[in-house]
Structure 1
Amino acid sequence: CRDAGGWYYVLLFPPSVPSAPPQLSIVSTSSTDIRLMWRPLSSQHSRGAVTRYHIEYSTLDQVDTVFSVEVRGNETQFTLRELQPNQDYRLRIAAGTGIGFGVPSEWALHQTLANHSMVIFAPTELKVRARVDILNVTWHPSPNHTLVSGYKLSCREVEADESDNGEKTTQTHTIRLRKKARYHLLTGLVPDQQYEVRVWAFNKQIDGAAAVWKGRTDKTHDRGKIYLTACVRKKSSIQAAANSSTSILLRWEKPRFSNVRIINYTVRCSPAGTTNASLVSYYTSSAQEILLGALRPFTRYKLAVQSNGVDVVGPFSGTVEESTLSDRPSTPPEELQLSALDSSSVVASWRPPLEPNGIIISYRILFSGNLSQPEHLWENLSQDGSITSVEVQGLSSDTRYFFKLEASTEVGPGPFSPVKDVHTPLQIYGMCQKVHAIYR
């Protein structure tokens, strides 16, 4: 700065306390745990090296009893343990340098899970379709599916005298499947053998109750199989066309040069490129076409057809591939983060939707200083779908702003993200004027 006499003054700013708190994310991992997550502060807001974080928390019905814990400055998450189940807590965090701690975040409210929420119910509608050496297992999700991390499936042979002798055991094979699994194909089994199949959900803490099926594989028909394999050639004409974002219409020709009367057809469907047997689905059709539904939008599927006679099955055809159409995103953009750059601008950043259902062509950001204001009165900005951050300028100082955003494909927009807020700092006028006034 230069005063009226032509003198220059250099202002040096020593390290200070952070000017803003970290943005806090909260999630429950069990009925007695709460996990806190945050991002490091920018250099502008940290005002020096952050060496520690200070976390405070209390139950909502005992706000005068506040517990605290300090975490090292290189950490970005911490889990509070041994809390009370089904209890409302308030939590906040502050960042600190060697000088001291900055202003803490506003109190955030969070409720721990109830004890009974850790009971995982059995999957519903367990069905098993038996063939000579194959069991095609399907099921619907557990009623409290949100607690589920995945599924387990076991299969074992059931001995003829097992019901009379409780001590007799057979080898059990157990496999782990993804949370989205609804099917699994058990192959290489013994013909005309009784099996027991169990399916249950699990998470990191417990295993859920099992759905159980007992039944027998079909008897072998070797002569019929050889005849059908020799006489029925694989389908040479299969046509697939996307019907919507969740369905594909599949048509095929009847096998030629066959003396076997076709009873029905089996259609095999799986996402292209997958090697996970649990993602393979099987459908039956008595006609020479089928509309495959309940598929994922904007996903490429691999399809094949098999002929079925009386007690005989033919080989699967060669595969064709077809993609479902795109759709609106079914989930909002994730991890919206807001950071005030100065008294009149804010940087917003985010991640694309978990289920975009197509190519994201644009994002729309809405913001307002009044949360109760009708949505059509909020300010809005549009951003190209390849960009996941924007600087919002022209804001008022010392004002709390509320933000939310949505993603759009060519079909249309998806849901809005949860509303998040940020507070612009109070405008600080020129330091030169203050220095000049002092030296006058």
Structure 2
Amino acid sequence: MLFFKAPKKHLQNGIIRGYQIGYREYSAGGNFQFNIISIDTTGDSEVYTLDNLKKFTQYGMVVQACNRAGIGPSSQEIITTTLEDVPSSPPENVQAVATSPETISITWSTLAKDALNGILQGFRVIYWANLLDGELGEIKNITTTQPSLELDGLEKYTNYSIQVLAFTRAGDGVRSEQIFTRTKEDGF
């Protein structure tokens, strides 16, 4: 949301008829040309919401008042960052391998920056046993900052369901597809 006040009466040089808002994204490879929006005036102060901006992205904005004579000088550019949000996609390439009768090693790829939507705080691995009678074991989760984890203390020769998600300060993102792995048999 962009909030601004009309120029002081002695600086207007006529009746304000509207405003032009210029905004541009500041990112690697971003277009540094201003996108321009024109709005009509409704009073001494204006509020305008810019839609369809990228999450957790830095933008520069300027405002220009317009009267019958034309467009006035540009305000000083302000730089602001849109709010952080939860990740919009799950970690990819989730793989799990049983390394012993009681451990499973899990790895995954981290998210692309444009899907992260904030500052990565870590990953959450959610897992549960699929018991022989069709029941589900207790759902557990472990948090890590690395794109890998070893689950230990598991039941021997048991099927496990595993999902992984990334989280930011705004909360948990999307869970990965469920994968299934069985711990190894105990040796005789």
TM-score bracket, shorter-length normalisation: 0.7 to 0.9
Unaligned runs of 5+ in 1: 1-247, 430-440
Q: Does 1:304 align with 2:57?
A: no
Question: How far off its partner does 1:253 sit?
Answer: 4.0
Q: Distance in 2 between matches of 1:392 and 1:263?
A: 65
Contact 1:366 1:378 in 2 (8 A): no
Q: Which residue of 2 aligns with 1:251?
A: 4
Aligned counterparts, 1:89-238, within 5 A: none
Residues 48-105 of structure 1: CA deviation (Å, up to 9, x unaligned): xxxxxxxxxxxxxxxxxxxxxxxxxxxxxxxxxxxxxxxxxxxxxxxxxxxxxxxxxx
Q: Which residue of 1 aligns with 2:18?
A: 264
Question: How far off its partner does 1:388 sit?
Answer: 1.9
Match of 2:139 among 379, 388, 392: 379
Aligned residue for 2:170, secondary structure, equals coil
Residues 114-152 of structure 1: CA deviation (Å, up to 9, x unaligned): xxxxxxxxxxxxxxxxxxxxxxxxxxxxxxxxxxxxxxx
CA spacing shift, 1:317–1:403, aligned 2, 3 Å: same
Q: Distance in 2 between matches of 1:400 and 1:293?
A: 46
Residues 173-197 of structure 1: CA deviation (Å, up to 9, x unaligned): xxxxxxxxxxxxxxxxxxxxxxxxx
Q: Which residue of 2 aligns with 1:345?
A: 103
Contact 1:362 1:382 in 2 (8 A): no
Q: Which residue of 2 aligns with 1:364?
A: 124
Question: How far off its partner does 1:366 sit?
Answer: 1.6
Select between 364-373 and 387-396 the one with higher mean Cα deviation.
364-373
CA spacing shift, 1:276–1:358, aligned 2, 3 Å: closer
Aligned residue for 1:270, secondary structure, equals strand
Match of 2:172 among 406, 413, 417: 413
CA spacing shift, 1:275–1:265, aligned 2, 3 Å: farther
CA spacing shift, 1:311–1:378, aligned 2, 3 Å: farther
Contact 1:338 1:349 in 2 (8 A): yes
Letter in 1 for 2:61: L
Question: How far off its partner does 1:321 sit?
Answer: 0.8
Unaligned runs of 5+ in 2: none
CA spacing shift, 1:392–1:294, aligned 2, 3 Å: same
Residues 313-372 of structure 1: CA deviation (Å, up to 9, x unaligned): 334333101112222222222221212222221111223334222223243222223297
Aligned residue for 2:11, secondary structure, equals coil
Match of 1:424 among 173, 180, 183: 183
Question: How far off its partner does 1:390 sit?
Answer: 0.9
Aligned residue for 1:302, secondary structure, equals strand
Q: Distance in 1 between matches of 2:28 and 2:120?
A: 24
- Structure 1 or 2: more strand by fraction: 2
Q: Which residue of 2 aligns with 1:291?
A: 49
Question: How far off its partner does 1:311 sit?
Answer: 6.4
In the alignment of these two chains, the number of paired residues is 179
Letter in 2 for 1:351: S
Question: How far off its partner does 1:260 sit?
Answer: 4.1
- Computing the radius of gyration from Cα coordinates, the structure with the larger value is 1
Aligned counterparts, 1:29-44, within 5 A: none
Question: How far off its partner does 1:305 sit?
Answer: 1.3
CA spacing shift, 1:409–1:279, aligned 2, 3 Å: farther
Q: Which residue of 2 aligns with 1:399?
A: 158
- RMSD of aligned alpha carbons: 2.8
Contact 2:104 2:150 in 1 (8 A): yes
TM-score between both structures, scaled by the size of structure 2: 0.77
Percent identity, aligned pairs only? 24
